[in-house]
A and B are shown apart, each in its own frame.
Chain A
Amino acid sequence: MHEHISFPILTAIIFLPIIGALLVTVLSNRRPEWVKLCAILFSVGTGAMSLWVLASFTTSSADFQFVSQHDWISAWGISWHLGVDGISLFLVALTGILFPLVIIAIDPHHDQKRYLAWLLLLEAGVMGSFLSLDLVLFFLFFEIVLVPMYFLIGGWGYDDRVYAATKFFLFTMFGSAFMLVGIVATAALARHDVGFLTFDLVTLAEHASFATNTGRWLFFSFAIAFAVKVPLFPFHTWLPDAHTQAPTGGSVILAGVMLKLGTYGFLRFGLYLFPEAAVWARPLFLTLATIGIVYGAIAATMQTDLKRLVAYSSVAHLGFIVLGTFAMTSQAVTGGVAQMINHGVSTGALFLLVGMIYERRHTREIAQLRGIQKVAPIFAGAFTVVMLSSIGVPGLNGFVGEFLVLIGSFQTARWWTIIAATGVILAALYLLWAYQRVFHGEPDEENSTFAELKMREGMVLLVFIGIIGFTGLYPKPLLDRIEPSVDKLIEHVVSRTDFVPPAALEVEK
């Protein structure tokens, strides 16, 4: 156990990027390569620390590890409480890996210094959201990530960037508005049970018991914030705009880790704090998730813009995660968490590839692309692997999460799962069809000069493909770490509600 570890590694993971951002801001603009080097060093340092956490994580334990807890705003019972468990562990590692890759792979077109500073601040915010075990602290990071993302989309995005950035900001803030009131009300109402005012997640979840209706209201105040963030149908309309207009780096981060704030929030705060309400609301969320899966897939099929297609595929993929979450069996939830990671890797890589296509061709219109496979076979190969992973082909990482979600959900949410399974087929349809149109055929004049993968791009993609292959072939290390925490969460839900996990689960164990 690492409870008494002397070095506050999680705090350092949050503060290192902030220091990096400040340093980047202060550095002179005359030596842009130094600025970039500084940003890379700080993000790599953060990534290294997150990997160190991953390596020294006690596998079999379901508890929060590397916990660091200090008084912060004691007048209001708010503490600086960080910790990592199987649910957040890989999200932290993914964040740690994704940011340096984005910083290395993509050069902004202008104002490099500000771009990098915002990216590093964003990293701190995302890390903080995944690590916080205090409601207000979580809200702080959850909300603060809007600011760097807003400026990244608005400052470095494409034509309609200001509209997309504003929409993104306001939609998410709309959700958070309810959550803040919910957070405060939760703590105020739990004061009686707990005995003092506290926003500490663990204390509240273990000691507070809310009246049925109260709990449901509170649950929904949180759920609306997460539903917007995921995004769950019908709150998804900001996503295609934000993704399409965001610069490539922004899209990778947005799809890779930021959307997971919503699905992670459902698990960490929704189910854990309000088990009764979550069980009660299962049909609603299963339905919304299923609609998201089918709707996202159909909408993706119809897109003419490659980036928008990937954006809609995110809506579908995140539907699977929510489906798994609210199916509430060990396998489904574990699969959902695994899917968070896998989607982050594969969709992140897809956005990177789409960004490279745009760099070379200055268009993302599928109709204008043709025959790229002929001129850039290695590029096409990389795209194929990533795409297959996104489809969920066995042997690649996408399969692991989706399969677990489907098999786990089938036991408790049969009909929803049957409909959701069509999403897998549709995913193959829209991605393969898009691939066919973009990469097959004879390249016309404009596409015949499509440049092959550069060294730097190849190295970055290799990391992605490495993760895709490794998790796909050998998911055990991943699942072994996720499962104990998930089981503990489900036990928590079961012990507080009349929800009965299916007997089949026990047999399979």
Chain B
Amino acid sequence: MSTLFAENLVGPSIRWMGISPLLVLLGGACLLLLLGSIAPRWPKGSYCVFTVVVSLATAVAAMLQWHDVTKNGPKTLIADAVALDHFALLATIAIAISIALVSLITDDYLRREDYDGPEVYALYLTAAIGGVVMASSNDLIVLFLGLETLSLSLYLLAASHRKRAESQEAGLKYFVLGGFSSAFFLYGIALTYGSTGSTNLSKISAALSGESPFSQIDAMLLVGIGLMLVGLAFKVSAVPFHVWTPDVYEGSPSPVTAFMASAGKIAAFAALLRVLVVAFPTRIDDWRPAIWVLAILTLLAGSILAVVQTNVKRMLAFSSISHAGFLLVGVEAAGHTGGNDALAAVLTYLLLYAVLVIGSFAVVTVVAGKGDSHTTLDDFRGLGRRRPAMALALTVFLLAQAGMPATSGFIAKFGVIKAAAEVHSYSIAIIAMLAAVIAAFLYLRIMVSVWLADSTNDAELSVPLGAGIAITLAAVFTIAVGIYPGWLLDATRMVSNLATIAVQAVDAATDTPAG
């Protein structure tokens, strides 16, 4: 039997070092679950510390690989199914940073809400595995596996607060709608496979660019691309596939919302870029208008609908939609020839926004209080007097999200606008900036509540250690990047430089046997 297996099933050779970030995450998740169920109860805060250590180790592993990629160039691993390039690694680092920050918020939250345990952290880690796989996939099937790993973890996380009906509702809603979108995505993969003969992104690209017979079959391919776009647009919560976002963001436990808005978005956008830029560069004229429309709808709907909200979590949900619109502007720019700066711009935006949104939700988590229910604008009244430092941090996050200069938000927006302007997409850039003005109204409303509104609420508000650290780190990062962004831009510029080469190198490699 064993010899038979060995003859028939020859597994691909695996460069273990190349997927070390994934392995660290996987090992961490398994260890946490195992030890968590064997040992009775860990000392206070140790689940959180463990998760932070695992995520930092992931980031370190990714940085080691970064060094390697810089030296030896990008490559594909495991039978070309996984890409190892700066793009994937930066997304990995961003996701790792997100988990670390979110874990810090989660620590006290779980004790406050009385369901402390390793499960939530383990789910963060598995979700991160899914996200990293999505960001580094070079094959649609692998991408789908990553997508499902991420999504299933997120469904559970959304519903993880067992005592809150809203949390259950959010989980179920997300699960049902998410299931739909996954089905769309899967059907899209099937049609793409049917029209190109492969699920490998590089091979799809080669099949569509050469003289191969596949390059003629258009209708099926277009439907395939369209369905995949629907699936991914759902994940990035682009309008009109956004309806789940406000409900799920509002209902989910606040730290989990932070996680969805940061790590979830990074993974989804990274996957979207990979699919569009790597697999369908020859079909730019087909998908770019779709992205253009999605971007404008998302920008306008996200910012306009945000204005009438009164619940801060919902407001931030709509603002995250409007940010997704901004990111789509970058994706649109990536669709132009010579628009490769856009890749770096989008990833930088994702990283900076992740920190901002986690910082904002960290403050929301603290203010929400026991039961996670005090999240209306009125609950934020007088925060400036009760907790000036935290209110100041929140102000920094909000101003940064509005794109004020001297904060990271400006650098993020500037990068995307620059990418769009360089490919002459002026109209979409102006619409994006105008949407930012509308969205600024929303941030001003929160700031009015925090600083300017009269308040009788002088109740003591204690900031737990973990959340305090997360908020401080995020605020310092926001200002530091805003004032001195050079180092970050130099690092992320390599993303586009090398991601392009990676695409071309892979193209060449697959072209040779095909042609």
**Residues of A bordering B, CB below 8 Å:** 72-76, 136, 139-141, 143-144, 146-147, 150-151, 154-155, 161-162, 165-166, 169-170, 173-174, 177-178, 180-181, 184-185, 188
Contact = CB atoms under 8 A, between A and B. Distances in A.
Contact of A144 (B405, B430, B486): B405
Given A75-B490, A154-B448, A170-B437, A144 B404 contact: yes
Majority DSSP secondary structure for residues of A touching B: helix
Given A166-B441, A177-B433, A188-B422, A155 B451 contact: yes
A134 to B, nearest CB: 12
Given A75-B490, A140-B406, A155-B451, A177 B434 contact: yes
B451 A151 contact: yes
Nearest to A154: B452
Contact of B452 (A147, A161, A184): A161
A180 B433 contact: yes
Contacts, number: 81
Nearest 4 Cβ contacts at the A-B interface: A177-B433, A140-B405, A75-B489, A184-B421
B489 A73 contact: yes
Contacts of B489: 73, 75-76
Contacts of A76: 414, 418, 489
Given A75-B486, A140-B405, A184 B437 contact: no
B433 A178 contact: yes
Majority DSSP secondary structure for residues of B touching A: helix
A146 B405 CA distance: 10
A494 B228 CA distance: 56
A184 B414 contact: yes
Interface residues on B, range: 20 to 34
Contacts of B440: 169-170, 173
A150 B452 CA distance: 11
B405 A73 contact: no
A46 B357 CA distance: 37
A174 B418 CA distance: 18
B76 to A, nearest CB: 28
A143 B405 contact: yes
Contacts of B236: none
Given A72-B486, A140-B410, A141-B405, 7 more contacts: A76-B418, A162-B452, A174-B434, A180-B414, A180-B433, A184-B421, A188-B418
A141 B404 CA distance: 10
A169 B418 CA distance: 24
Nearest to B452: A154
Contacts of A178: 430, 433
A324 B448 CA distance: 39
Interface of B: 399, 402, 404-406, 410, 413-414, 417-418, 421-422, 426, 429-430, 433-434, 436-437, 440-441, 444, 448, 451-453, 485-486, 489-490, 493
A206 B399 CA distance: 35
Contact of A154 (B414, B434, B451): B451
Contact of A181 (B433, B451, B485, B490): B433
Nearest to A71: B486
Contacts of A136: 414
Contact of A139 (B405, B422, B444, B448): B405
11 contacts: A73-B486, A73-B489, A139-B405, A146-B404, A151-B451, A162-B448, A166-B448, A177-B430, A181-B417, A181-B421, A184-B421
A184 B404 contact: no
A175 B234 CA distance: 33
B360 to A, nearest CB: 17
Contacts of B421: 181, 184-185, 188
Given A75-B490, A173-B440, A184 B405 contact: no
A143 B400 CA distance: 12
Contacts of B493: 75
Tell which of A140, A146, A170, A180 has the most Cβ of chain B within 10 Å. Answer: A180
A155 B452 contact: yes
B429 A181 contact: yes
Contacts of B410: 140
Contacts of B486: 72-75
B418 A147 contact: no
Contacts of B441: 166, 170
A144 B483 CA distance: 12
A75 B489 CA distance: 7
A507 B490 CA distance: 56
A185 B426 CA distance: 8
A180 B433 CA distance: 8
Given A140-B406, A144-B406, A184 B451 contact: no
Tell which of B399, B417, B436, B437 has the most Cβ of chain A within 10 Å. Answer: B437
A135 to B, nearest CB: 11
A165 B413 CA distance: 24
A72 B429 CA distance: 24
A146 B406 CA distance: 12
A151 B433 CA distance: 23
B417 A147 contact: no
Nearest to A140: B405
A273 to B, nearest CB: 16
B497 to A, nearest CB: 11
Contacts of A177: 430, 433-434, 436-437
Nearest to A175: B437
Contacts of A185: 421, 426, 429
Contacts of A141: 405
Nearest to A172: B437
Nearest to B385: A111
